[in-house]
Amino acid sequence: MPDPSVGTGQAGAHSAGASPHVHPRHPRLDPLADRYAARTHGMKSSEIRALFSVVSRPEVVSLAGGMPAVTALPLDAVGSMIGDLVSGMGAQTLQYGSGQGDPRLRERICDVMALEGITDASPSEVVVTVGSQQGLDLVTRVFCDPGDVILAEGPSYVGALGVFQAAQARVRHVPMDDDGLVPEALEQALVECRARGDRVKFLYTVPNYHNPGGVTLSEPRREQIMAIAERFDLLIVEDNPYGLLGFDREPMRALRARDDQRVIYLGSFSKTFSPGLRVGWVLAPLAVREKLVLATEAQVLCPPSLTQYAVARYLDTQPWREQIKIFTELYRERRDATLESLAALMPPGTTWTRPDGGFYVWLKLPAGLDAKLMQPRAVAAHVAYVPGIGFYADGSGREYMRLSYCFPEPHRIREGVRRLARVIEAELDLHSTFDGVDTGSFRAVPASPSGPPRVVEPEGSGPFIGPANSDRNEDRQP
Amino acid sequence: MPDPSVGTGQAGAHSAGASPHVHPRHPRLDPLADRYAARTHGMKSSEIRALFSVVSRPEVVSLAGGMPAVTALPLDAVGSMIGDLVSGMGAQTLQYGSGQGDPRLRERICDVMALEGITDASPSEVVVTVGSQQGLDLVTRVFCDPGDVILAEGPSYVGALGVFQAAQARVRHVPMDDDGLVPEALEQALVECRARGDRVKFLYTVPNYHNPGGVTLSEPRREQIMAIAERFDLLIVEDNPYGLLGFDREPMRALRARDDQRVIYLGSFSKTFSPGLRVGWVLAPLAVREKLVLATEAQVLCPPSLTQYAVARYLDTQPWREQIKIFTELYRERRDATLESLAALMPPGTTWTRPDGGFYVWLKLPAGLDAKLMQPRAVAAHVAYVPGIGFYADGSGREYMRLSYCFPEPHRIREGVRRLARVIEAELDLHSTFDGVDTGSFRAVPASPSGPPRVVEPEGSGPFIGPANSDRNEDRQP
């Protein structure tokens, strides 16, 4: 240790437990600061993770997390099913398995994909992954060198942006509207990238019940986008965790069903069964699959056997299609509660999307408001959301927020929207009061004494609430 | 698709299932061949994976795989324990969890590490990973840019070499002997790297019951190596899956117990409980842990909840220390069978290590023999091992093989060693017959008509067995 006092200081910080400055603000305090790989430089805590400690408080209505309603599962049946798997098949379920994943599960995955029109998939083209997050990470590692460009909807799934950042890829957002990704905008982006000599590795898209957008790519646009991909020789990564969660409608036909060579498909059991098992998959042409298997072997050797057997047995023995209906019925009710409350309570100038499946509403605040800066006040008012800025790689999206209706019960959703509406109204009051005054981009707005629940000020802070305080939410909480 | 005929050809290959040429030998057959990331160029199937299809045949005695004896677990008790976890705690065990891992499990992990002298670890410094393989991948991603140098024992764990290759890091091997890594060789390597301006990111070491070496770093050498690390300001990654699997001896004191800032420790429940759960961990200084959590969130969001709860509950309610004794007793018996058979049967000139824990014996063939070239003949004689070449990043190690005694029962081990001895003797006969004749480095040696079980020649091959045929073993089998 070049400087023992530094080491001692760090050891002290360890034993102190959850220090408020876990993320080292002064590089000299981290003796390894000059040794990290370049890819770590842009790593930061996601907007969602930052809220973990907040949403676990029972008095807060969380419209932030995307946690499925797993308690709607028949837990006793699933429990005894998994218990039997271990008691009766421990030699398999507790042992190492193949890197590509259990063959029987891969067969059942092909059955599931057939519901979205993918009828030609072979189990040999499927790689089982630790959630579809790992699938996206593997695809990105296989295709992207630093500096490569990935096209993605604006906004995009925050977890995907984290993967792309870790790969040191550059993200170019392509706008969406109520019918999903705008084909003309995709074409324009491709033309511009080609003119600049950018290496565009793929389009990353969530066509169904977009996270966070809540919108679905329309059937005509699917055809248009496939035609553009053909014309520009563009690879598409279709991320589809929500495709079977439509309300009162049949599943859309997947992009992968239209081209088995140009589309790499990511699937997940996190929303149709359980996220705690972390079972997802990639469907890819054989040459790509070969590389994905090598990459996953280097990363995790093989996915957990027990969780794979649990999913395969669940699909074999439990009424999983009926269970998806139970889930979607429940989510539809919560979606309705959300949309009804928003329509009844939101002040003029607020707009939002109207999802017909999935988990999310994407809300735009009235002009001039900033969801990130408003967040501490919302938390003080006991309602949580995810600020839109986290869903863009380029720092835009401050006027947006994501509302998740998947987890809270309808009466809680209504209460949460009511609180949120009051917070927005209070912001609008402030905004009109300070209109024309330079408030440093709302960086230091006094907490409203007239607003609903008084802002709880962090210990040691002054009367002003701003980013310096909201940063506290970003300290790691287990 | 620029060339539809190519697409059609590939689709045909898909439906044909396990094609013998899955790995594209002609890049033009893969329309994406020019789009992969640079890190994929050196990816190749490991020597161990290549044997998967072989070792599953019941007539073959496999001394190849490193599969723990999970059926020695009390499967009924573990099954009902896990079933109860799902039935009773489904809201947690089937739900997303924290990226860092379940806090209760991290506490119990600290208890486990205390058995090896790590008494100052805090749960906040622990990151739960999908097996310790993911832990090593995360550490490597956090520290290594392409071209960085990693020091590692020669030989080294094949899965680690896969991680380092995927990170485009360069591996420099440091010799071992019966007392483990040779300190003088480590120092020499560091001096040479410094002189060349190499960026050495860390030493990767498996100090206990080395895979594949079977040797253990002695206590005096641990102190010497820590002193060298101090002098050269070297970071150490201590990979310790086997540390509690010593035969008739107390666990060695971990390197991490000697320096909490310079050593990053990787642990695993794969050998003390179950590999099919894929639960491992990293213990790292807080600043590093912070980066590891961000990296794992980008990779898998969070480790599976169910498997983490299963391990924590197992440690809470089952006699896990006694179970480790049951495992080690069983492995000791198999180690004895291996060493006794080797001593009784191996021809002169063959040497091997004598492990006092863990899973592996590292065997050196008599001069002139090549374990990789001999492999098809061994498989034909119904015994499997892993050729040593896979455990080196630099192509050396052809005279070595790894024998695993962890999985087969003692009578099978004895039979396997007997078969292996005959194969080696037959090789020696051939070798003396052809001595002085240029056989192209043994690239085309006729199958011995006098040897034991006649070599089964792959369909369509001539009377010569060589690498072109043994390559067949490397085709992917699900």
Chain A residues with CB-CB distance to B163 below 8 A: 298-299
Chain A residues with CB-CB distance to B50 below 8 A: none
Cβ proximity of B256 and B267 under 8 Å: no
DSSP tag of A243: T
* Contact call for A40 and B295, based on CB within 8 A: yes
pLDDT at A420: 98
* Contact call for B82 and A86, based on CB within 8 A: yes
Nearest residue in A to B99, CA atom: A478
pLDDT at B7: 31
**SS3 label, residue A227:** helix
Chain A residues with CB-CB distance to B122 below 8 A: 14-15, 17
- Which of A13, A83, A275 is nearest residue B83 as measured by Cβ atoms? A83
* Contact call for A37 and B144, based on CB within 8 A: yes
Query: How far, CA to CA in Å, does B413 sit from each of A368, A443, B331?
Result: 75, 71, 12
Cis peptide before B212 (omega within 30 of 0): yes
Task: Mutation target for B interface from A95, A107, A409: give the one with most B CBs within 10 A.
Answer: A95
Question: B240: closest CA among B219, B218, B262, B271?
Answer: B271
Measured between CA atoms, how close is B376 to chain A, in angstroms?
22
Tokens of B32: 């994406």
Tokens of B296: 């794992």
Tokens of A428: 């609008």
Q: What are phi and psi of A158, to 5 degrees?
A: -60, -35
Cβ proximity of A154 and A185 under 8 Å: no
Tokens of A41: 């430089």
Distinct helix (H) and strand (E) counts, chain A: 14, 16
N-term to C-term CA, chain A:
29
Distance of alpha carbon B266 from alpha carbon B321, whole angstroms: 20
Question: Using CA of residue B427, residue B432, residue B433, residue B435, what is the dihedral sign?
Answer: positive
Q: Beta strand pairing status for B263-268 and B236-239?
A: parallel
Distance of alpha carbon A374 from alpha carbon A445, whole angstroms: 10
Measured between CA atoms, how close is A106 to chain B, in angstroms?
10
Cβ proximity of B201 and B169 under 8 Å: yes
- Which of B14, B36, B285 is nearest residue A142 as measured by Cβ atoms? B36
Chain B residues with CB-CB distance to A143 below 8 A: 35-37
Chain A residues with CB-CB distance to B17 below 8 A: 122, 124
Q: Beta strand pairing status for B383-384 and B445-446?
A: unpaired
Nearest residue in A to B105, CA atom: A478
Note the pTM of the prediction, 2 decimals.
Answer: 0.86
B205 forms beta bridges with B238
Going along B14-169, which residue ranges are E strands? 61-62, 126-130, 149-154
What's the longest Cα–Cα distance across chain A?
72
The rounded Cα A453 to chain-centroid distance in angstroms is 30
* Contact call for B86 and A79, based on CB within 8 A: yes
- DSSP H/E element including B204: strand B200-205
Question: B216: closest CA among B417, B404, B7, B358?
Answer: B358
DSSP tag of B43: -
Distance of alpha carbon B271 from alpha carbon A454, whole angstroms: 54
Q: What are phi and psi of A200, to 5 degrees?
A: -85, 115
Between chain A and chain B, how many beta carbons pairs sit less than 8 Å apart?
350
Cβ proximity of B239 and B201 under 8 Å: no
**SS3 label, residue A202:** strand
Cβ proximity of B80 and A84 under 8 Å: no
Quick one: A71 exposed, middle or buried, by C-beta within 10 A (0-12, 13-18, 19+)?
Answer: exposed
B407 forms beta bridges with none
- Which of A286, A295, A297 is nearest residue B22 as measured by Cβ atoms? A286
Q: Which residues of chain A have pLDDT under 70?
A: 1-28, 46-55, 434-478
Q: Beta strand pairing status for A386-387 and A400-404?
A: antiparallel
Measured between CA atoms, how close is A77 to chain B, in angstroms?
8
Chain A residues with CB-CB distance to B162 below 8 A: 294, 297-298
- Which of A37, A44, A299 is nearest residue B137 as measured by Cβ atoms? A299
User: What is the per-residue pLDDT across A429-450, written as a single tens digit (0 to 9) for each?
Assistant: 988 876 654 443 333 333 333 3
Q: To the nearest 5 percent, what fractions of chain B are helix, strand and coil?
A: 45, 15, 40
- Which of B14, B261, B307 is nearest residue A122 as measured by Cβ atoms? B14
pLDDT at A440: 37
Distance of alpha carbon B43 from alpha carbon A368, whole angstroms: 51
* Contact call for A87 and B75, based on CB within 8 A: yes
Tokens of B170: 């360069």
* Contact call for B31 and A261, based on CB within 8 A: yes
Distance of alpha carbon B71 from alpha carbon A95, whole angstroms: 9
Neighbours of A23 (CB within 10 A): 18
Chain A residues with CB-CB distance to B39 below 8 A: 141, 145
Tokens of A260: 């088995």
Helical spans, DSSP H, in A115-266: 131-143, 158-166, 183-196, 219-232
Q: What are phi and psi of A417, to 5 degrees?
A: -65, -35
* Contact call for B95 and A276, based on CB within 8 A: yes
pLDDT at B289: 97
Per-10-residue mean pLDDT of chain B, 478 residues long, equals 32 34 52 90 71 75 93 98 98 96 98 98 98 98 97 97 96 98 98 97 98 98 98 98 95 98 98 98 96 96 98 98 98 98 98 98 97 95 96 96 97 98 96 58 34 32 26 29
- Which of A14, A163, A288 is nearest residue B298 as measured by Cβ atoms? A163
- Which of A38, A144, A300 is nearest residue B278 as measured by Cβ atoms? A300
Distance of alpha carbon B402 from alpha carbon B385, whole angstroms: 6
